[in-house]
């Protein structure tokens, strides 16, 4: 989904057939057979309603579960919707007729107000919603527009944080716990599909899956750079919903809507960033403008991209070593150089965890360790296995 693309049903048919037919009968729109059917159905409805009363005329049936769910959805939307905003990406472009530069909307997405402090409010959205923006404009639920200041973005998790004045802010969303979600649990997506003309739209579904790993091409070179860990939902997520809220029946934020699988053969696969994974990223972006991740100081490529003949002759690898990453360059003064890593070393494990490719290595560095930690690498050099400890 590119940034340019980013721009209840509670009907209950129980016992309504007779009422619909009776209504048409009053308008004289039914045939004689349909009139008789309508009268019979209407009588059935009346009998059913009578049976639902006890001797004192009071309701004698259990609360309708469908109505309870509908009420829960309505309550959740009321709780969360004021904190969901529109995010307009404004970019500078030349006017075709005058040649003068002007600021024009390049795309519209969604965002969620998660914090209000010291006269400022903070919005989390997607990186691809704000990418390339020269200015940002935040649109509140009531249509109020507020200039936004981009504090930081993270391409790896597709998150961004925007700051704005809080004088018109009515509500801040509360965080839920995405680790406790269960498949089949109700999920509600709130955002601006197709742009601000549909602001505050609500779609409802369930959590279809947890811990989904989705390959992502970050630089457009048609190769996978990262595997995003996401929640899967069948709540409709359309262009413009990106950055919006995925909430539970309590109106608590459980995910940041991010993307959908858009293929002709696919329907109902929307993806959201789990809020428990997003919180530390949000905090880093707000405080530092970037995510502080550990660095090794090397450039790498996947062993699987090296032809087998070179794996044997140049790298001299044992035949059973099929996966890993190859050191291409070692930066001067880097942790890698200090640890003794060399060009063409092949890294196959970190702290005992197998490293099959660059994605595995990045996931371990970015998710499992932090700056200052020591990591033990299993390395093959000239065909010989060795352990190298590196301080990140």
128 catalytic? Reply is yes
User: What's the CA gap between 124 and 25, in Å, rounded?
Assistant: 54
CATH assignment of 82-165, among 3.30.70.980, 3.30.365.10, 2.40.10.10, 3.90.1170.50: 2.40.10.10
Catalytic residue from among 21, 81, 128, 201: 128
Find the length of the chain: 392
User: What's the CA gap between 236 and 242, in Å, rounded?
Assistant: 11
As given in the structure block, the two tokens for residue 16 are: 């309504």
What pLDDT shows up at residue 164?
97
What pLDDT shows up at residue 4?
41
pLDDT of residue 45 exceeding 50: no
Superfamily name and number for 298-391: PDZ domain (2.30.42.10)
Per-residue pLDDT tens for 144-166? 999 999 999 999 999 999 999 99
- The count of C-alpha atoms lying within 13 angstroms of the C-alpha of 392, restricted to the half-sphere facing its C-beta, is 18
Catalytic residue from among 21, 81, 154, 158: 158
Q: Which residues contact 294 (CB under 8 A, 6 or more apart)?
A: 365, 366, 369, 370, 371, 372, 373, 392
Percent of the chain residues past pLDDT 70, beyond the cut: 82
As given in the structure block, the two tokens for residue 383 are: 């065909």
pTM (predicted TM-score): 0.71
Catalytic residue from among 81, 178, 199, 242: 242
How many other C-beta atoms can be found within 10 angstroms of the C-beta atom of residue 129? 29
pLDDT of residue 106 exceeding 60: yes
As given in the structure block, the two tokens for residue 48 are: 């059913």
302 catalytic? Reply is no
pLDDT of residue 32 exceeding 70: no
What pLDDT shows up at residue 80?
95
Domain ranges of the chain: 82-165, 298-391
288 catalytic? Reply is no
Residue 127's nearest CA partner among 101, 91, 147, 157 is 157
User: What's the CA gap between 253 and 250, in Å, rounded?
Assistant: 9
User: What's the CA gap between 74 and 292, in Å, rounded?
Assistant: 39
């Amino acid at each position: 989904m590119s940034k340019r693309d980013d721009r209840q049903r509670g009907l209950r048919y129980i016992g309504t057939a007779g009422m619909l037919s009776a209504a048409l009968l009053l308008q004289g729109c039914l045939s004689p057979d349909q009139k008789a059917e309508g009268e019979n159905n209407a009588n059935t409805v009346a009998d059913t309603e009578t049976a639902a009363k006890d001797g004192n005329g009071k309701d004698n049936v259990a609360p309708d579960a469908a109505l309870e769910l509908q009420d829960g959805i309505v309550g959740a939307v009321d709780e969360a919707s004021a904190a969901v905003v529109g995010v307009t990406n404004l970019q500078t472009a030349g006017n075709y007729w005058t040649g003068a530069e002007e600021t024009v909307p390049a795309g519209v997405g969604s965002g969620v107000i998660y914090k209000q402090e010291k006269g400022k409010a903070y919005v989390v959205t997607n990186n691809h919603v704000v990418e390339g923006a020269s200015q940002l404009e935040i649109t509140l639920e009531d249509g109020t527009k507020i200039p936004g200041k981009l504090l930081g973005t993270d391409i790896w998790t597709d998150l961004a944080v925007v700051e704005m004045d809080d004088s018109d802010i009515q509500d801040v969303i509360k965080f839920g716990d995405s680790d406790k979600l269960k498949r089949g649990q109700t999920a509600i997506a709130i955002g601006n599909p197709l742009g601000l003309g549909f602001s505050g739209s609500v779609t409802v579904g369930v959590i279809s899956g947890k811990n989904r790993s989705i390959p992502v091409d970050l630089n457009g070179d048609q190769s996978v750079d990262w595997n995003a860990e996401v929640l899967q939902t069948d709540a409709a997520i359309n262009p413009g919903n990106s950055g919006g809220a995925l909430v539970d029946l309590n109106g608590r934020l459980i995910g940041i809507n991010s993307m959908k699988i858009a293929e002709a053969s696919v329907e109902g696969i929307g993806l959201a960033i789990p809020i428990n994974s997003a919180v530390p990223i949000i905090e880093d972006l707000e405080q530092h403008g970037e995510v502080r991740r550990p660095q090794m100081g090397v450039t790498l490529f996947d062993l699987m991209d090296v032809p087998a003949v070179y794996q044997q002759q140049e790298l001299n690898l044992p035949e059973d070593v099929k996966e890993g990453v190859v050191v291409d360059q070692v930066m001067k003064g880097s942790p890698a150089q200090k640890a003794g890593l060399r060009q063409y070393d092949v890294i196959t494990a970190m702290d005992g965890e197998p490293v099959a490719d660059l994605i595995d290595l990045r996931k371990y560095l970015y998710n499992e360790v932090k700056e200052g930690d020591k990591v033990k690498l299993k390395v093959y050099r000239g065909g010989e296995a060795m352990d190298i400890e590196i301080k990140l």
